[in-house]
Structure 1
Amino acid sequence: MASEQAVGAPPAAEELQDKKKPAVQQIDPYNVAGEVDEHGQIKAIDYDRLIQDFGVQPLTDAHLARFEQVTGKPAHRLMRRRLFFSHRDFDRILDTYEQYGTFMLYTGRGPSSGSMHLGHTVPFLFTKELQDIFDVPLVIMLTDDEKYLYTRSKNDGVQKKGAAVEDFLQFAHDNIKDIIALGFDPKKTFIYTDYEYLGGHFYWNTSEFESLVTLNQAQGAFGFGGSTNIGLIAYGAKQCVAAFPSSYPDLFGYPDYRAPDYNSQAKRRHATLSKIPTLIPCAIDQEPYFRILRDRCDRMTDPHPKTCLILSKFLTALQGPGGKMSASDANSAIFMSDTPSQIKNKINRHAFSGGRESLEEHRRLGGNPDVDVAYTYLSYFLEDDAELESLGAKYKSGEMLTGEMKSRCIAELQKFVGGFQERRAQVTDEVMREYMRPRRLEYAGNPTPTRPAAPAQEAGASNGALDGEKTGTAGKEGRLTKGERKALKVAAKKEEKKEEKLAVRPKPAAGDEKAAAEDSKGE
């Protein structure tokens, strides 16, 4: 993905902001900066405004109640505290899971350094929770190619030391080990880097999607200009089609078309897989990618249901509201490789305080936990709601001082990072490669769907490859939109033509029945 995202996704290359802060709030896949006031101070990011600007929907109490009803599990703390705060069609994913049993999760990371920082772990912690609760397949994309292209473009086409293709591939491998250390189930998780995996049906989808996006549209969505290299302009199509289950036939038990073992049964993409819905947990800055994707899902040769998103806020930089942690600024972030003493020093020296100018004033007027970085970090990593509420109340009343809030934050972060480092030490190259091996994933989904798949359904289809209505492409109250109805008719006509061709195909000789059966499997 295109940003150093603190909370979010998919898909997540580093946010490398312009050296000059914009006067107005700027949020896109390559810039995250709050508005600058008349005194030159950066304001906190206005998320209510982003909901309006991006046209997304707020995550409400009704969504949390629906989540708990469907899953039988409490909502994750990041949802409860509205750190994941908005969505696109999250309710449809819940309906699909309740009725038909499963969907695919997709997220990602743009590797820009050898160690992830604290903010990078947040989307993965949330995604892991969703995977565990729903018991669904997960795909994680490492966009090493995008990181290389963006860094070179930022440097006016110059390739600087430590920023070659090989460097970003190494960053990707290091980051994959970090991600694995967060506890993902290898049986239902596939992780890859673009440089190593792209090809086969994934690239077929990419090529087709590239044909659907014009230069003007890419410039409008991502802020590209005349000096942007053509690789970066084209990259967005890869991040978009990475959300299509049809890009990963191996994961669902179908053959892919790749060297050196070209499979004659896989010369066409598997239409069955195009019907599996996808949920993307990611930060709000990544939304432009998937807005473009959603607008074109039904224009693919095999129409896909609109991808669903659950969108997060950014974990703020140590310096306070208005930005987010960045791997390019060591003092803005807590890295997952930091020692306990480094964590303590960074919080004590650099964490922005919501306290008052003097002890007397703080005791009398109280502090502001809403802008206090130590309290903000606790809201992400402290599980106990009651304790978090108590800390905030004591800080507001002046009973708790800034130093005491920082001390509590340091202890929580040291525990989290220390546990991570113990697990990370166990992730060998062999363990990493097992997660990266294309193979059929094992998952169960909803054990009691209200409208289970028919017994005769094919293996891949039984894992959630349903018809257009069943994948949640229906509009409000179950009605399909005009575009969705048209897409279903087109798909039905294609299916009829395929059946007609099969009907007139010469029947195989007696010894060829097995080959014929394999030839028709999954199509």
Structure 2
Amino acid sequence: MASEAVGAPPAVNKEVDERKPAKQKIDPWNVAGEVDDSGNVKAIDYDRLIEDFGVQPLTQAHLERFEKVTGKPAHRLMRRKLFFSHRDFDKILDYYEQHGQFLLYTGRGPSSGSMHLGHTVPFLFTKEIQELFDVPLVIMMTDDEKFLYTRNKNEGSMKKGAAPDDFLDYAYENIKDIIALGFDPKKTFIYSDYEFMGGHFYRNVSEFESMVTYNQASGAFGFGESTNIGLISFMAKQCVAAFPSSYPELFGLPDYRAPDFDQAGKRRHKALASIPCLIPCAIDQEPYFRVLRDRSERMVDPHPKPALIMSKFLTALQGPGGKMSASDPNSAIFMSDTPNQIKSKINKHAFSGGQQTEEEHRRLGGNPDVDVAFTYLSYFLEDDKELEDLAKQYRAGEILTGEMKAKCVGELQNFVAAFKERRDSVTPEVMREFMRPRKLEFVGNPNPIKPKAAEGASGSNGSAVPSGAAGEGAGGKDGRGTKGERKAAKLAEKKAEKEAEKLALRQKAEEAKPEV
């Protein structure tokens, strides 16, 4: 998944930097607010994005439904409408309540050796979702996409620091960052596209590629005749990463990768195709998943349309219209920054919603809605009451800009310091465990409304069909399982009957022996 799926996209376009009039531009590689005739950059218009992308707003009713299903308060990012839009979020809640399972998927496009605050926000949200629902999570590191995009941006030339190996190095450093945010290794699989691609994943890629024409790809992403073919075809990889059938080993079923010629691993695991997926991401990634949702049910093994819950962008230090960017150190707080660097960046670069003088501020008050320090606090300060009080006091002129910045600096320094301490403990052995394909351990909803029709049925390799794959519609449209699964179940039943007969004969023979 491109880096924008988990944080800030690249720097604002050149035309924005030059302050030429322009409409806001939001796509997987560019995020820029509208520039008016006077050269002023406006804040991102999220209401317009909802309308343009055809998504739905996340409402209070959704939060109440979420709390009913989980029994826990909605995450602060949902309460504060920082995750603000969705596709079928209500349906994923219904499925979890009824059948108890779904796959969680997000990702990161590694473009530098350190993530920044904007990158951590969706991961922190995803972590909370995983903990609340107890579901498996896959995290895709799109090192290949970042190479393809960068080379395309450089008009086909290979520049220093932008080779495939460089992006793979970035991926490994970013994986350490992600692990340091606190994910559970028992139910989390992290992978690099360059290293993992193959097996059932690539079969899904190939099938999905066959359903998308150049004209359709160009219409969705604006590709032109000079776009390299790798970037055009990449969408299939990011799309099928949402299919549980791309990861059979995570559910205890065999994958097929040479030189393993196990026939059981070759065949598709149809039951996995019935498991739905939830994708937390920033809204600029929506075009990818719009294409995915249009085609997921047309796969040979139809997959349900993935659900999305989408976030706003964490604004750049400079304020509205931009967002944190790895290409501009002064726009972002990096997770590798020192306490002094954090303090200096906030004090020097954070856009203020206060007045020009203390006297004016005391009299007129400030505007927390555009104040960057307050904006960052809205993402990282847990206490709703404290945040509300800060906003009221700022508007009333009771708190000065310097005091708001000091509060922000303290919160971010504490967050980054705790992160660094955890990152220091991420050894190569820890990374290997997260990146090793293996059966994940998860429970899901322990009390689903609808019992799982095929609970405990045997898969093609004799292992149990995963919980959640055996719900309504699993293993074929009638829920009876595939032909191979039904055959395996009958063989297992006959074997059990024979074992029972042998046991009964042995017991009868023992009883017939004369007592000594």
The TM-score normalised by the length of structure 1 is: 0.89
Could you tell me which amino acid in structure 1 is paired with residue 158 of structure 2? Q
Distance 1:423 1:206 in 2: 35
468 and 286 in structure 1: CA distance in 2 versus 1, 3 angstrom threshold: farther
What do the CA deviations read for 1:489-518 (whole angstroms, capped 9, x no partner)?
8x99x956x699x69xx99xx9xx99xxxx
What do the CA deviations read for 1:85-104 (whole angstroms, capped 9, x no partner)?
01000011111111111111
Aligned pair count reads: 486
Q: What is residue 468 of structure 2 aligned with on the other side?
A: 464
Could you tell me which amino acid in structure 1 is paired with residue 99 of structure 2? Y
1:169 and 1:193 in contact (8 A); partners too: yes
340 and 377 in structure 1: CA distance in 2 versus 1, 3 angstrom threshold: same
Distance 1:31 1:200 in 2: 32
* Per-residue deviation, 1:402: 0.5
Task: Provide the secondary structure at the position in 2 that maps to 1:322.
Answer: strand
Q: 1:20 aligns with which of 6, 10, 15?
A: 15
1:190 and 1:435 in contact (8 A); partners too: yes
What do the CA deviations read for 1:363-418 (whole angstroms, capped 9, x no partner)?
11111100000000000000010000000000011111111000000000000000
2:9 and 2:31 in contact (8 A); partners too: no
1:368 and 1:396 in contact (8 A); partners too: yes
* Per-residue deviation, 1:16: 5.0
What do the CA deviations read for 1:148-181 (whole angstroms, capped 9, x no partner)?
0000111111111111111000000000000000
Could you tell me which amino acid in structure 1 is paired with residue 156 of structure 2? G
Could you tell me which amino acid in structure 1 is paired with residue 13 of structure 2? D
469 and 61 in structure 1: CA distance in 2 versus 1, 3 angstrom threshold: farther
* Per-residue deviation, 1:316: 0.3
* Per-residue deviation, 1:225: 1.3
Task: Provide the secondary structure at the position in 2 that maps to 1:108.
Answer: strand
Q: What is residue 85 of structure 1 aligned with on the other side?
A: 84
1:337 paired to 2:336: yes
96 and 238 in structure 1: CA distance in 2 versus 1, 3 angstrom threshold: same
Q: What is residue 40 of structure 1 aligned with on the other side?
A: 39
Task: Please identify, of 95-104 and 408-417, the stretch whose mean Cα deviation from structure 2 is larger.
Answer: 95-104
Give 1:265-304 correspondences, 5 Å limit: 265-304=264-303
Distance 1:434 1:456 in 2: 27
State which structure, 1 or 2, has the greater radius of gyration over its C-alpha atoms.
2
| Identical pairs, percent | 71
Could you tell me which amino acid in structure 2 is paired with residue 156 of structure 1? E
Distance 1:386 1:13 in 2: 28
Q: What is residue 431 of structure 2 aligned with on the other side?
A: 432
Task: Provide the secondary structure at the position in 1 that maps to 2:309.
Answer: strand
Could you tell me which amino acid in structure 1 is paired with residue 361 of structure 2? H
1:13 and 1:109 in contact (8 A); partners too: no
1:249 and 1:273 in contact (8 A); partners too: yes
Q: What is residue 443 of structure 1 aligned with on the other side?
A: 442
Q: What's the C-alpha RMSD, in Å, of the aligned pairs?
A: 2.4
- Unaligned 5+ residue runs, structure 2? 500-516
470 and 55 in structure 1: CA distance in 2 versus 1, 3 angstrom threshold: farther
1:230 paired to 2:229: yes
Distance 1:240 1:16 in 2: 25
- Unaligned 5+ residue runs, structure 1? 472-486, 515-523
Task: Please identify, of 444-453 and 454-463, the stretch whose mean Cα deviation from structure 2 is larger.
Answer: 454-463
Task: Provide the secondary structure at the position in 2 that maps to 1:178.
Answer: helix
Q: What is residue 321 of structure 1 aligned with on the other side?
A: 320
What do the CA deviations read for 1:460-483 (whole angstroms, capped 9, x no partner)?
544211456589xxxxxxxxxxxx
Q: What is residue 421 of structure 1 aligned with on the other side?
A: 420
Distance 2:60 2:189 in 1: 32
Task: Provide the secondary structure at the position in 2 that maps to 1:463.
Answer: coil
1:127 paired to 2:112: no
Give 1:108-119 correspondences, 5 Å limit: 108-119=107-118
What do the CA deviations read for 1:101-143 (whole angstroms, capped 9, x no partner)?
1111000000000000011000100000000000000000000
Could you tell me which amino acid in structure 1 is paired with residue 2 of structure 2? A
Distance 1:306 1:52 in 2: 20
2:143 and 2:168 in contact (8 A); partners too: yes
Task: Provide the secondary structure at the position in 1 that maps to 2:321.
Answer: coil
Q: What is residue 483 of structure 1 aligned with on the other side?
A: none
Task: Provide the secondary structure at the position in 2 that maps to 1:175.
Answer: helix
Distance 1:13 1:190 in 2: 23
* Per-residue deviation, 1:456: 4.0
